[in-house]
Amino acid sequence: MSANVSEEGGSRRPSTPTLTHSHTNGKSSHAKSGLVPTNNVTTKEGLTVRTRIEPSLSVDDVIRQLCISLKLKDPPAMYALRDENDELVTNDNLRKKIKGKVNLKLVNAPAIEAAEIVEKLSAVEARGASDARLGLALTSLRKLIREDQFAQEFLQRDGLRELVDVIYNSHGNILAVSKHRIRMVNLMELDYGWANLDNAFIFKVVQILSSEQSRLNVCRPATAILKRLVEADPSSASGLNAATTASTSKGPPSPTPGSVYRYGFDVVFEQMRKEKGLLETVVNRLGSADTTMALYSMMLINSLLAHASDPRWDEFIAELERLNVRKAVIACLAHPYLFKVFADPRLAQRLMSSHTIEDLTSCILDFQANMVRVTFRKKTTLVEPDFEPLHNQALQFIWEKSKLEEGREDAITPIKWRKLGFETEDIGHEFREVGVLGLDCLKYFVEKDPDYWAKVVQEQLSRSEERRCPIGKASNEVTDLLAEHWAIYAPGYSTSTTFQPFFLNFPKVHALALHFFLRMWNESGASTDDFPRLVALTRSQVKVALKRENIRPWHEVEQEFLESEYRAVRDRQMQELEMEDDIMSKIPIRNLRAKLYKESYEFVRQQRIHCLLEGAWFMNGIPLATNDPRDTIRRPTRPWRFLRLDAGLKYLHYVDSAVKFPVRKGLEDLPERIEVSMISEVATGTCAPFPHIQRDQADIPLGSSSPMLASPLSFSLLSTSGGSLADQIAPDQARWADWTDGLNMLRRDGGHVASQETELFVQALTEIGLKIKLLDLSGERVEIPSGLVAGPPPTNSDFFFSDLAYDAPT
């Protein structure tokens, strides 16, 4: 091959060499016919070569022939090709670059670049460096670390150790630069290379994050690093959802040797315990006026909640409750934009100039879904005062504040808990339906006003036995009613698409509803036989008082519970009963509904994931103004994108195109991919339509003639490091619901449902299934009991549990 040189504009410009397969002796049939595209290749010295590259060549062949043509002394292994945006040219994207006639650059190979950066980092450690010099090295590292070839070379040269040493030894402004520019979390998005991060490094990150003086550019990457470490547990490596695995598996699988999935919640939480103020600092930042600071704090809390392991679960949740994290999240809504977004999601696109507000609302909904799991676990955790000191302390507190004295029915049988309105003296059995949740709610009720508690208990004891209100039993019924209202059926099954601040105030709402129950008991002159009627009355009032929860002020809820008159409530309930059969309120039917709800949710989940496996066309969106410069760099050049999830549920494969075309089954037509594990948020309403697309061509509602107004059918896939992995606009509402909720259901930290379509779909399937089941019962005129009475305990241990468990009637 020859390269004739000519003068153009004062620079030496070689003529056009042709790169072909070696067996063609430098002559290609494509080249002869003029079909081979021409690309400009610029060398490190600034020379530009017009080159025809055969698309079937490998990158190594192209570089080798360029070195021969340009008579370069260094071996071809020292060179690589990049495009004008500095994207590395690989065998996977070479054909696309050639056909697009993209300008290319002949640059140092990833191995050379990795060696140079490692050398600079080691020089910083050995001799120190100015902020500017260190910043240049770290800026280069930030750009290159995402490339697999560079990352492998960087890790092979022990670059991670050098990077960690710089973090250890940096102080002041250099620390800020290193944490912000390194973006070490980019390296941790790989599934290899960082398995040797030790506890000392994790503790260092914990210390950085817990410092009150830490700035946003420090807290942001530190939070992302901790979040990635929490999610790197063995269950995540196997593709399982850690949130559900933790509650169903006997133990996490062992990590394979050298795997990065060897950390997880226990490893991180152990270091967090050494820094006592960390959780308190993170919770306090939820109230920060800086919404970005609040966002990253919320992301870390969500990750910890979703991955909390059984051994540390009680300790972690108790610490969060002590810090009143629920109140901090509710206070976070004081931001006027957030309140308006939750009150009317349609306003979001007119209020937000960046992703931050949308991301924060998404994180708050994730937090709400995590708290549903926490609440369900409390509800199903047995009260065992003989084995759990905290349970015993709570019960003793309730008893002491009642100011009663224990009595005796006879020489053996005490009278204690029955004085507080429980049916038996087996207090653990009394809380069997509501668990620790019921105990916590009753304790809160007593703590809020101990004098009222003592007064109402003693007042009931002064009445005849049939006129006494069973306060303890009533408290548990109210707890159960609220759990039913907020669909606390099972972990991981939350379909609420709106914020529920009253749910986060569960004990406070319980106290109001219990006050209502006691007041209705007194005003109606009820007796023991009227207890089911009062429960139904309270259920009706709960539905009315908690309606439109996302926009209703708290004082209206208090007014509904504390000031409603018995006659008005009773008349309304009678009207409701005319429209709804009383059979629906019976305990077996409620249990059946809970079971069908879980089955419906799982059915919808599989349907959504099936849509992802089938794939679909989307318009490429243009993200609205953000603080991340990568959103500008990564703007697509073509308007359409086809996305499809692979069968292993690990990657989203895609192709960008100027026009839509029939995509074959499989992944052959989809050369690019996004790793699902990198998706930390599925934000909605975040991007504007692709420019220069006519409405009749788009075939989707673009929302407005304004080019920078977010489409209501847009969504963005956000990474753990804060950048956007993809910005898409769905063709219709159904496809938007399928993909946003399907992607959320795939996330490691168990995202929330984003669309009302999915929420209503699950509810409709549940109600249809329930009615079909009830048709069998009503046709046979089967009497459904209000509850089941447990028989006497066995007299000895000579028994076993049958494999058949009681289920709701079918």
Residue 595 confidence (pLDDT):
83
Residue 128's pLDDT band (cuts 50, 70, 90): low
Judge contact between 439 and 485, C-beta under 8 A.
Answer: no
Residue 401 confidence (pLDDT):
95
- Ordered by where they begin, the domains of the chain are 5-108 (3.10.20.90), 183-249+260-367 (no CATH), 381-585 (no CATH), 598-758 (2.30.29.30)
Checking if the pLDDT of 623 tops 70, the result is yes
Q: What digits encode the pLDDT tens for the residues 565-589?
A: 888 888 887 877 665 555 666 667 7
Judge contact between 598 and 605, C-beta under 8 A.
Answer: no
749 Cβ partners below 8 Å, 6+ apart? 231, 242, 243, 302, 303, 306, 307, 366, 680
The average pLDDT across 668-689 equals 83
Give 687's strand partners.
Answer: 623
Q: In terms of Cα–Cα distance, which of 362, 276, 278, 375 is closest to 326? A: 375
Q: Is 85 helix (H, G, I), strand (E, B) or coil?
A: coil
Strands 5-8 and 11-14: antiparallel
The average pLDDT across 358-382 equals 87
Select the highest-mean-pLDDT range: 213-222, 344-353, 729-738.
Answer: 729-738
The average pLDDT across 675-683 equals 81
Claim: this prediction has a pTM higher than 0.85: no
Cα separation of 454 and 26, whole Å? 98
The average pLDDT across 783-798 equals 65
Q: pLDDT: is 295 or 396 the higher one?
A: 396
Cα separation of 17 and 620, whole Å? 37
CA 91 from centroid of its chain's CA atoms: 35
Cα separation of 667 and 672, whole Å? 10
Burial class (CB in 10 A: 0-12, 13-18, 19+), 461: middle
Residue 354 confidence (pLDDT):
47
The average pLDDT across 639-661 equals 90
The average pLDDT across 270-283 equals 89
Cα separation of 602 and 388, whole Å? 34
Sheet architecture: strand order including 672-675: 672-675, 651-657, 640-645, 616-620, 724-729, 714-719, 679-684
29 Cβ partners below 8 Å, 6+ apart? none
The average pLDDT across 135-153 equals 77
CA 120 from centroid of its chain's CA atoms: 38
Q: pLDDT: is 361 or 479 the higher one?
A: 479
Q: What digits encode the pLDDT tens for the residues 736-774?
A: 989 988 888 887 665 677 677 888 888 888 888 888 877
Checking if the pLDDT of 591 tops 70, the result is yes
- 105-126 burial: b if 16+ Cβ within 10 Å, else e: bbbbbbbbbbbebbebbbebbe
Checking if the pLDDT of 240 tops 60, the result is no
Residue 640's pLDDT band (cuts 50, 70, 90): very high
Cα separation of 100 and 64, whole Å? 22
Q: 143-157, 168-182, 292-306 — which is least confidently predicted?
A: 168-182
Judge contact between 13 and 58, C-beta under 8 A.
Answer: no
Cα separation of 282 and 227, whole Å? 13
The average pLDDT across 365-393 equals 92
Residue whose token pair is 């650059």: 105
Q: pLDDT: is 781 or 278 the higher one?
A: 278
Checking if the pLDDT of 797 tops 80, the result is no
Q: What digits encode the pLDDT tens for the residues 427-445?
A: 999 999 999 999 999 999 9
Q: Percentage of the chain surpassing pLDDT 90?
A: 25
CA atoms within 13 A on the CB side of 381: 21
Residue 704 confidence (pLDDT):
43
The average pLDDT across 764-790 equals 66
Q: What is the 3-state secondary structure (H, E, C) of 778-809?
A: HHHCCCCCCCCCCCCCCCCCCCCCCCCCCCCC
Select the highest-mean-pLDDT range: 44-58, 81-95, 367-381.
Answer: 367-381
Q: How many C-beta neighbours within 10 Å does residue 15 have?
A: 11
The average pLDDT across 632-644 equals 76
Question: What sections of 71-158 are H helices per DSSP?
Answer: 94-99, 110-127, 131-144, 148-156
DSSP string, 407-468: EESSSS-EESGGGGT-SSS-HHHHTTTTHHHHHHHHHHHHHH-HHHHHHHHHHHHTS-GGG-
Q: What digits encode the pLDDT tens for the residues 65-116?
A: 888 888 888 888 889 888 888 888 888 788 888 877 888 888 888 888 888 8
Checking if the pLDDT of 520 tops 90, the result is yes
Q: Is 18 helix (H, G, I), strand (E, B) or coil?
A: strand
Q: pLDDT: is 724 or 215 the higher one?
A: 724
Q: What digits encode the pLDDT tens for the residues 695-718?
A: 444 454 444 444 567 788 888 888
Judge contact between 709 and 682, C-beta under 8 A.
Answer: no
Residue 157 confidence (pLDDT):
85
Checking if the pLDDT of 23 tops 60, the result is no
Consecutive H or E run containing 643: strand 640-645
Cα separation of 371 and 486, whole Å? 11
Q: In terms of Cα–Cα distance, which of 187, 186, 182 is closest to 168? A: 182
CA 158 from centroid of its chain's CA atoms: 33
Residue 353 confidence (pLDDT):
41
Residue 384 confidence (pLDDT):
94
- In whole angstroms, how far apart are CA 755 and each of 54, 314, 676? 48, 32, 20
Consecutive H or E run containing 642: strand 640-645
> What average pLDDT is seen over the chain?
78
Checking if the pLDDT of 242 tops 50, the result is no
Q: In terms of Cα–Cα distance, which of 214, 196, 221 is closest to 275? A: 214
CA atoms within 13 A on the CB side of 646: 17
Residue 124 confidence (pLDDT):
62
- 253-287 burial: b if 16+ Cβ within 10 Å, else e: eebeeeebbbbbbbbbbebbeebeebbebbbebbb
What single letter denotes the amino acid at residue 762? V
